[in-house]
Amino acid sequence: MRLWKTILAAAVLSLAAATSAFAARTDLTLGIVLEPPHLDPTAGAAAAIGEVTYANVFEGLTRIDDNGQVQPALAESWAVSDDGKAYTFKLHSGVKFHDGSAFSADDVKFSLDRARAKDSLNPQKQLFAHITDVTAVDPATVKVTLDGPQGSFLYDMGQVAAVIVAKGSADGNKDKPIGTGPFKLDHWAKGSEITLVKNPDYWGTAAALDKATFRIVPDVAAAVPALLSGDIQAFANMPAQDALAQIQSDPRFSVVIGSTEGETILSINNKKPPFDKLAVRQALASAIDRNAIIAAASNGLGKPIGSHFSPGDAGYVDLTGVYPHDIAKAKAYLKEAGLENGFSATIKLPPVPYARDGGQVIQSQLKEIGVDLQIIPVEWAEWLSQVFTNKDYDLTIVSHVEPNDIDIYSRPGYYFQYDNPKFNDVIKALGTTVDKDKRLELLGEAQKILAHDVPAVYLFELPKIGVWDAKLQGMWTNWPIEADDLTKVKWTD
C-alpha cells in the first residue's frame, strides 16, 4: 500500500510543476488608491489618469523612461535648428490607433494645435505656450516652430498631457480612450476596476502581458489583505505605511522603495505677517525636524529635501544643511523678528495622510519655540478655493507632484505669494537655455535661492513604495513621472 502512495504523490508533484512551466502567467492585477475621474490625459489634472493610460494606452512624440530620461516614442528621430527654435520630427510608419484609423503627421498637428488653442482645457497648457506653428511636412514628418529656444521642449513633449490623439476620437477619450499604445481599454467598471488588453497590431515591441486590471482599493487598511490574499499582485505605490515591515519579511513579495517628483513642503503665505519677515520663516525652518516628520508621517521612507527639487532628478543640490534642526537658533531668529515669546497661527491640512499626520508633528515641534498652531482640516475642494485661489491661509502642507516644477515660485499670483526678482531672472534664463550643463548650473542656483529665502519649509520627497509579486519583473522603481508603464512588465517563472 505504501508504494502506491509514493507513486501517487510523485505524479501529483510533477503535474503541478508541468502546468506552471510553459504557461507563464500573462495577466496582472494592480492596485491603485484613487480612481481616475476619466481616461483623457489631455482633459483632466488627476494624477490617476496618467497612472493608468501613460505609455500603456496613449503615447506622445517622446517618452519619459523610469530614469526620467527623454526617449523617442511616436517620433522615431528629430532634428533641432541651430537657433533652437525649430524641431523636425521623423515619425514611425505603420502606426494605427486602437480604432484602426491610421496615425499620421496630421494627428500630431491636430493634437498640438488643440492643446495650445485659446479655448483649450489642457491642464498643462503652459507646456505648449511657446509653440507658434505646427506644419505636417509629409505624412511621416512634422515641423514645430517656437517663439524662442525652450530648454525643456523635448522633455515637455513627453509629459502626460502631451499625448497624441486622433481627430475623430479625441472628444470621446474621456470614456472610450483611443490611443496608439501597446494596450487598449477592454472594460471600465466604475468604482471597481479598469481592464486593459494587449493591442494586437501595436507598431512597437509587443507587451508581455495579455491583460492588465487596475483594481481601485481606496482604503489603506484593505490594501494589505488584498495583497496577501492574492487578489492583487502588484501596487506601483502602495499606501502600506506601517504594514510595510510585515510585507518586507514575506518572501512572496518584493518591496522596492523609489522616489517620486512629489516635493512635500510646508507652504507659507509670504505676504501675510508675520510670515513676510525672513527671520520668522528661518525660525520655522530651524524648528522643524525633517527626520522626525518622515518617521511619523511617512513611516521613515522618503529623503529629506532642502529646496523645491526631487533628489532623483539631475541637477539636485543637497541643501538640507542650510537650516539644520536647532531649537536655540530658531528662538534666536524669532527674537531677531521681535517675536521672542512666539505667536499663534493656523495650518490648513488637505485630507491626505502626509498632511494630516505631518501637520500634527509640525504642530508639536513648533510648540517648542512658542509658535501655537491651530489645525484646520479641509477637503480638497475647500483647500483649492480657500488656499490656492483666495490665498486665505497662514500655513498649509501639500506635495507638489508635477515634475520639473521649480518655476512655480516665479508664477505671478501663485498661492505662495512669493515675488523674488533675482529668482525670476534665473527661471527666465533657464527657460531659454538649451545647453545641458548650463541648465544644471541654473537649476542649482534656483535651488540655493529658495533654500536660503525659505518661501516654504522643504520637508521631504514623497517615496514610491513599490510592492509586487516576487516573480514579477519590469515595474518602475521611481516615478519621474506618475505612470504605471506596463510595456516591459512580465512574469519570470
Partner 1 sequence: MTAYLAKRLIIAALTLVLASMVVFAVMEVLPGDPARLMLGLNASADQVELLRNQMGLNAPLVLRYLHWAGGLLSLDFGRSYTYSVPVIDLVRERIAVSVPLALIALALSTIIAIPVGVFSASRQGRAGDTLAMGAAQIGVAVPNFWFALMLIYLFAVWLRLVPAGGFPGWGAGVWTALKSLILPAVALALPQAAILGRVARSALIEVLNEDYIRTARAKGLPYRAVLWRHALRNAMIPVLTILGLQFAFLLAGTIIIENVFYLPGLGRLIFQAITQRDLIVVESIVMLLVAAVILINLLVDFSYAIVDPRLRGRQ
Partner 2 sequence: MTMRIDLPEETLAGVLAKAFGNRSFLIGLVITLLILAIALVSFVWTPYDVTRLVIADKAQAPSWAHWFGTDHFGRDILSMVVVGARNSIAVALVAVGIGMGIGVPLGALAAARGGLADEALMRVNDVVFAFPALLSAIMITAIFGPGAVNAIIAIGIFNIPVFARVARAGALAIWPREFILAARAAGKGMTRITVEHILPNIATLLLVQGTIQFALGILAEAGLSYVGLGAQPPMPSWGRMLFDAQTRMVIAPWMAIFPGMAIVITVLGLNLLGDGIADILDPKSRRRR
Chain contacts with partner 1 (rule: CB under 8 A): 35, 37-38, 44-46, 119-121, 123-126, 174-175, 189-193, 215-219, 221-222, 225-226, 228-231, 351, 379-382, 384-386, 388-389, 400, 402, 413
385 binds partner 2 (CB under 8 A): no
Nearer to partner 2, 37 or 300 (CB): 300
Q: Which one of residues 164, 361, 406, 462 is an interface residue with partner 2 (CB under 8 A)?
A: 361
Q: Which stretch binds partner 2 (CB under 8 A): 101-109, 291-299, 311-319, 392-400?
A: 291-299
359 binds partner 2 (CB under 8 A): yes
What is the rounded distance in angstroms from the CA atom of residue 170 to the CA atom of residue 110?
10
Size (the chain), residues: 493
Q: Which segments of 23-175 does DSSP mark as H helices, in order?
A: 47-53, 105-116, 153-156
What is the rounded distance in angstroms from the CA atom of residue 146 to the CA atom of residue 347?
42
Residues in binding contact with partner 2, number by CB under 8 A: 28
Q: Which one of residues 56, 152, 159, 241 is an interface residue with partner 2 (CB under 8 A)?
A: 241
Q: Which one of residues 187, 252, 271, 367 is an interface residue with partner 2 (CB under 8 A)?
A: 367
Q: Which one of residues 34, 375, 436, 470 is an interface residue with partner 2 (CB under 8 A)?
A: 375
Residue 400 contacts residue 265 (beta carbons within 8 Å): yes
DSSP 347-403: EEE-SSHHHHHHHHHHHHHHHTTTEEEEEEE--HHHIIIIIIIT---SEEEEEE-ST
360 binds partner 2 (CB under 8 A): yes
| Residue ranges in 208-237 that form contacts with partner 2 under rule CB under 8 A | 219-221, 224
String of contacts with partner 2 for each residue 295-314, x by CB under 8 A: xx------------------
Q: How far is the CB of 453 from partner 1 (least distance, A)?
A: 21
What is the rounded distance in angstroms from the CA atom of residue 464 to the CA atom of residue 400?
14
What is the rounded distance in angstroms from the CA atom of residue 366 to the CA atom of residue 411?
29
What is the rounded distance in angstroms from the CA atom of residue 407 to the CA atom of residue 443?
10
Q: How far is the CB of 421 from partner 2 (least distance, A)?
A: 38
435 binds, among partner 2, partner 1, none (CB under 5 to 8 A by kind): none
- Phi, psi angles (nearest 5°) of residue 57: -100, -45
Q: How far is the CB of 245 from partner 2 (least distance, A)?
A: 7
Residue 185 contacts residue 57 (beta carbons within 8 Å): yes
Q: Which three cell numbers stand for residue 10?
A: 510523485
278 binds partner 2 (CB under 8 A): no
Nearer to partner 2, 145 or 360 (CB): 360
389 binds partner 2 (CB under 8 A): no
Beta bridge partners of 197: 184, 211
Q: How far is the CB of 274 from partner 1 (least distance, A)?
A: 26
The backbone region for 86, taken as left when phi is positive above 0, alpha when psi lies in -120 to 50, beta otherwise, is: beta
Q: How far is the CB of 325 from partner 2 (least distance, A)?
A: 13
218 binds, among partner 1, partner 2, none (CB under 5 to 8 A by kind): partner 1
Nearer to partner 2, 230 or 338 (CB): 230
Residue 244 carries which side chain, given as an amino acid letter? Answer: L
Q: What share of the chain is helix, strand, coil (3-state, %, to 5)?
A: 35, 25, 45
Q: Which three cell numbers stand for residue 426?
A: 534665473
What is the rounded distance in angstroms from the CA atom of residue 326 to the CA atom of residue 339?
17
CA 53 to chain centre: 13
205 binds, among partner 1, partner 2, none (CB under 5 to 8 A by kind): none
DSSP 258-286: EEEEEEEEEEE-TTSTTTTSHHHHHHHHH
Q: Which stretch binds partner 2 (CB under 8 A): 104-112, 353-361, 438-446, 456-464?
A: 353-361
363 binds partner 2 (CB under 8 A): yes
124 binds, among partner 1, partner 2, none (CB under 5 to 8 A by kind): partner 1
Q: How far is the CB of 24 from partner 1 (least distance, A)?
A: 23
Burial of 347 (0-12, 13-18, 19+ CB in 10 A): buried
**What residues have CB less than 8 Å from 81, skipping those under 6 apart?**
87
Q: What is the CA radius of gyration of the chain?
A: 25
Q: Which three cell numbers stand for residue 412?
A: 505671478
88 binds, among partner 2, partner 1, none (CB under 5 to 8 A by kind): none
Nearest to 465 by CA among 246, 201, 245, 238: 238
Nearer to partner 2, 135 or 374 (CB): 374
For residue 82, how many other CB atoms are within 10 A of its CB?
Answer: 6
Nearest to 123 by CA among 50, 226, 27, 18: 50
Q: How far is the CB of 351 from partner 1 (least distance, A)?
A: 8
374 binds partner 2 (CB under 8 A): yes
Nearer to partner 2, 120 or 386 (CB): 386
Q: Which three cell numbers stand for residue 194?
A: 479598469
Q: Which stretch binds partner 2 (CB under 8 A): 12-20, 242-250, 401-409, 467-475?
A: 242-250
Q: How far is the CB of 315 from partner 1 (least distance, A)?
A: 21
248 binds, among partner 2, partner 1, none (CB under 5 to 8 A by kind): none
- Which residue ranges make up the site for partner 2 (CB under 8 A)? 219-221, 224, 239, 241-243, 245-246, 292, 295-296, 351, 353, 357, 359-361, 363-364, 367, 374-379
